[in-house]
Amino acid sequence: MSYLLSILSLKVLFPLLLSMAFGVFVGAMPGLTATMAVALIIPLTYYMEPLTGLAMVIGVSFTAIFAGDIPATFLRIPGTPASGAAVLDGFEMNKKGKGALALTLDLFCSALGGLIGVLILIFTAPPLAEVALKFTHFEYFWLGVFGLSMAAVLSRGNTIKGLLSALFGLLISTIGIDVTTGYPRFTFGITELMDGVSFIPAMIGLFGISEVLKRLSFRESLDLPSVKINGKLDVLEALKLMYRNKFIIIRSSLIGTFIGALPGAGADIAAWVAYGAEKSLSGNEIGSGSPRGVIAPTSANNAAIGGTWIPALALGIPGDSITAIVLGAMLMYGLKPGPLIFAQSKDLVYQIFAVALLVQIMLLPVGWLGIKAFSRLVSLRAGVVMSAVVLFSMVGSYAIRNSVFDIWLMALFGLLGYVMEKINMPLAPMVLALILGRMIEDNLRIGLIKSGGSIIPFLTRPISLILFSLIVLTLLGPSIWKVVRKLKD
């Protein structure tokens, strides 16, 4: 409590509030990621005290991850990669005229998920970091495949096409320089492809441009408002839904925190895994505009931020790209992240925890204002909004690495997304495979090299075996469940 009181000063609160507003702005802008927001705010904190600087970083990262869900819900364009899973049910709810409810739910779940993540960070940072360290290449491979097995359950209606979509995504992820040998694969001399297919233009194209193309098919709809927002943000209904689905919030937050704690697996993977877990437990209802499909990923992605700080603070290993920047900033402030930080800078660590808790409370008004502002913009005529989406998507794609090639890539992925949806092939597994592709390949190959080509260690190590069993359960679970229910009937 004393730590919480110690941060309640204007020199911490005012920069924190500004950074949160900046987080909403960047997060809601397609093409600008939470990592970019943090990277941009770090230079501003050079001359500040470590607590103020870190408070700004914490504020920006939590709000940017939430704000990414706003365009995801209204326009089907994830503002940040972590909002990829929130697109599915959020946008479906919006189509049913429940966009405001979806975002209110999203806001509360993000704050609550973030709160749970931070509480877990406070109480379990050192022991959880130890578990995360037990993950080797074998476990990481299965973790990646587990994420992909979610692709099967994520696919609405057609599991086979979902798996094929994931395979296409994995194949696209092999484009670029092979990490092990340094050989460029499928690049055909195009320099821009050496780094691989940039994930953000691909995602903007698949979700955003394909949606614009779909909207253009109905010419008359262009004269109507882009998004119909029914009434006010329904706080009471959202709270009721949250109470009814309290276990989903807790489960998803736990999943999010755990995945966030694994080095290299951030909020985006956490959101997909939580969404997939919910889908496998709740069945076909998810994917067609169910509040549960909003609750699970939004609780998980904000909880994952707390998780990413666990290895960062306890071991000095970044949980994701954001904490990688944060670690650099901490070194800049003269702090040494790692086990010793709890002894050497105990007060500062607990003040950081207090800031993270405060951010969850402040997220509610800041996020609410963000939703309000964005909903004004998207209630313009569809023709205006769709044109703006196309232009913003293009500049956003270009912004990632100042590359014209990424704009072309986005346009091609837009076309691909449209065709895929036309033949009932889900987009989500491809997006997930693009995120996980490198991780799966590298860990499979390194694992095989370590084991001399044997797959035995992939199945005999305890954590590997647990993950493998989870994959089998995820893929076969729904069928087994159906048989059991039939036998019961």
Partner 1 sequence: MGWSDLILSLSCFALSGFVFYHSRFFPKFTVRGEKLPGPSFFPDLLAFLILIFGFYFFVSGLTSLFKAREELRSSLFKGVSLYKSLSFVIIIGVGFLFYPVLKIFGSVIGITLLGVFLMRFMRVRWFSSLVYSVVLALLIHWIFKVIFKLPLPEGVIFSLLRG
Residues that bind partner 1 (CB under 8 A): 29, 32, 36, 40, 160, 163-164, 167-168, 170-171, 174, 178, 180-181, 183, 185-186, 209, 212-213, 216-217, 219, 222-223, 380-384, 386-388, 390-392, 394-395, 398-399, 402, 404, 407-408, 410-412, 414-415, 418, 422-425, 441, 444-445, 448-449, 453
What minimum distance in Å lies between the beta carbon of 205 and partner 1? Answer: 9
* Maximal C-alpha separation, the chain: 69
Q: Which is nearer to partner 1, 281 or 412 (CB)?
A: 412
Alpha carbon distance 409, 303 (integer Å): 32
Q: Which is nearer to partner 1, 120 or 175 (CB)?
A: 175
Instruction: Identify which of 24, 260, 237 has the alpha carbon closest to the alpha carbon of residue 121.
Output: 260
3-class DSSP state of 195: coil
User: CA 376 from chain center: how many Å?
Assistant: 25
Paired tokens of 268: 């985006």
Q: Which is nearer to partner 1, 117 or 196 (CB)?
A: 196
Q: Which is nearer to partner 1, 9 or 387 (CB)?
A: 387
Q: Which is nearer to partner 1, 135 or 392 (CB)?
A: 392
Q: How many CA atoms lie within 13 A of 335 on its CB side?
A: 27
Alpha carbon distance 30, 78 (integer Å): 7
Q: Which is nearer to partner 1, 383 or 477 (CB)?
A: 383
What minimum distance in Å lies between the beta carbon of 176 and partner 1? Answer: 11
What minimum distance in Å lies between the beta carbon of 51 and partner 1? Answer: 25
Q: Which is nearer to partner 1, 354 or 411 (CB)?
A: 411
What minimum distance in Å lies between the beta carbon of 34 and partner 1? Answer: 14
> Any idea what DSSP says for residue 209?
I
Q: Which is nearer to partner 1, 33 or 301 (CB)?
A: 33
How far, CA to CA in Å, does 155 sit from each of 81, 102, 145, 233? 19, 21, 16, 30
Q: Which is nearer to partner 1, 122 or 380 (CB)?
A: 380
Alpha carbon distance 114, 108 (integer Å): 10
Paired tokens of 245: 């689905």
* DSSP calls for 431-466: HHHHHHHHHHHHHHHHHHHHTTT-SHHHHHSHHHHH
What minimum distance in Å lies between the beta carbon of 181 and partner 1? Answer: 5
How far, CA to CA in Å, does 381 sit from each of 30, 150, 220, 384? 20, 37, 11, 5
Q: Which is nearer to partner 1, 282 or 403 (CB)?
A: 403
Paired tokens of 63: 């709000």
Q: How would you write 28-81 as a 3-class SS string?
A: CCCCCCHHHHHHHHHHHHCCCCHHHHHHHHHHHHHHHHHHCHHHHHHHCCCCCH
Alpha carbon distance 418, 451 (integer Å): 42
Q: Which is nearer to partner 1, 131 or 415 (CB)?
A: 415
Alpha carbon distance 260, 271 (integer Å): 10
Dihedrals φ, ψ of 228, to 5°?
-90, 120
Contact 145/471 with Cβ under 8 angstroms? yes
What minimum distance in Å lies between the beta carbon of 335 and partner 1? Answer: 28
Q: Which residue has the tokens 């193309």?
A: 213
What minimum distance in Å lies between the beta carbon of 330 and partner 1? Answer: 24
Alpha carbon distance 241, 289 (integer Å): 14
What minimum distance in Å lies between the beta carbon of 410 and partner 1? Answer: 7
Contact 156/139 with Cβ under 8 angstroms? no
What minimum distance in Å lies between the beta carbon of 37 and partner 1? Answer: 10
What minimum distance in Å lies between the beta carbon of 46 and partner 1? Answer: 16
Contact 276/153 with Cβ under 8 angstroms? yes
What minimum distance in Å lies between the beta carbon of 286 and partner 1? Answer: 23
